[in-house]
Amino acid sequence: MEQLKPQSSIIPTNAQEPSTITTPRSKGQTTEEDRDKTHHPSPPQVLPGIPKLPPKPGLDNTDWMISIPDETPLSIITIAGIRLLFGKSKVWIVKQKLNEGIRYFDINAGVWRATEKEYHIRSTKWMMEEVFLPISIFLRSHSHEVVLLRLTIHGRTKSIADDFINTSMEKFKDIMWTKQSTPTMKEARGRIVFLKTDSFSFGVENYKLKIFGSDMLVNFEKNTELLKSDICGGQLVVTESPVSDHQSLNVLSEFVHKYISSSSGLGCVGIISMDDPSSELIDQITHLHPWSNYRRR
């Protein structure tokens, strides 16, 4: 019995080669008019339902914290962060930034009218739960990761903000770390770690450094020694870049690259908080491993 040949997803057409049509006027020979009527083969017809190639994946640092030893304090780890401020036109997608490797969000929120319980982040109205929800979903799927959150509430209706924040915290309390002590990775995995602010009395004690200026490369050794003495002391430190223009980000990227290339064991960098970090810079920061030289005392 003759076997049927499998059908191809490409349907051949009859017109495979260019053909020339002659007219009676040509007496069997091709004329210029005939050449204009030359028929080219039709493109192959692709059957519907053929799966397309998947799109090229973007930067994926969803699990970069899994290799950090459990006994490592959060203060030792270098973490890429984003500041969400008023007056900015861009809206950061929390889920996307988590996938890229961001683990610190500095969120400034405020209330426009006393009757509403919506808070404006980067000039876009988000419910605060829309910030908590993608983080909580991410942590439930990646329970070895940690997300640090700094909340600052602005406006005359702070009591309404406090009430709404407390309601949200009640809903997500099982994944929140609100103690003042700096947790280890074992204690913090799968949790949102709050940093203490003027708006909230709870959360981990922390302080800020602003050393990422234009001279950071000129005084490279001095700056890194400052980082080692201030940041590796066991307390959470947010190292801020004072400006967010393109030039300063390039300098910061070069600093991080030089830090990675250094063989002197320069210590910790802490939380690097920026307004507009590139995916490449985030990736560089996630590959800093100062905990490899850490020894618990």
Can you give the pTM of this predicted structure? 0.68
Per-residue pLDDT tens for 170-201?
Answer: 888 899 998 999 999 999 999 999 999 887 77
Per-residue pLDDT tens for 42-92?
Answer: 444 444 443 433 434 567 899 999 999 999 999 889 899 988 754 443 445
Cα 139–Cα 107–Cα 125 angle in degrees, nearest 5: 95
| In-domain check, residue 53 | no
| In-domain check, residue 19 | no
| In-domain check, residue 297 | no
| In-domain check, residue 259 | yes
Q: What is the CATH number of the domain that holds 284?
A: 3.20.20.190
| In-domain check, residue 156 | yes
**For residue 135, is pLDDT > 70?**
yes
% of the chain at pLDDT higher than 70? 46
Average pLDDT, the chain: 69
**Contacts for 254-258 with beta carbons within 8 Å, 24 or more apart?**
254/217, 255/212, 255/216, 255/217, 255/220, 255/223, 256/281, 256/284, 256/285, 256/288, 257/284, 258/217, 258/220
- Domain range for residue 181? 64-292
Mean pLDDT, to the nearest integer, of 253-282? Answer: 69
Q: How many domains does the chain have?
A: 1
3-state SS, 175-195, equals HEECCCCCCEHHHHCCCEEEE
| In-domain check, residue 26 | no
Residue 111 near residue 160, CB atoms below 8 Å: yes
Mean pLDDT, to the nearest integer, of 250-274? Answer: 65
| In-domain check, residue 28 | no
| In-domain check, residue 36 | no
> At 19, is the pLDDT very low, low, confident or very high (cuts 50, 70, 90)?
very low
Strand pairing of 147-154 and 124-126?
unpaired
Measured CA to CA, the distance from residue 35 to residue 257 in angstroms comes to 63
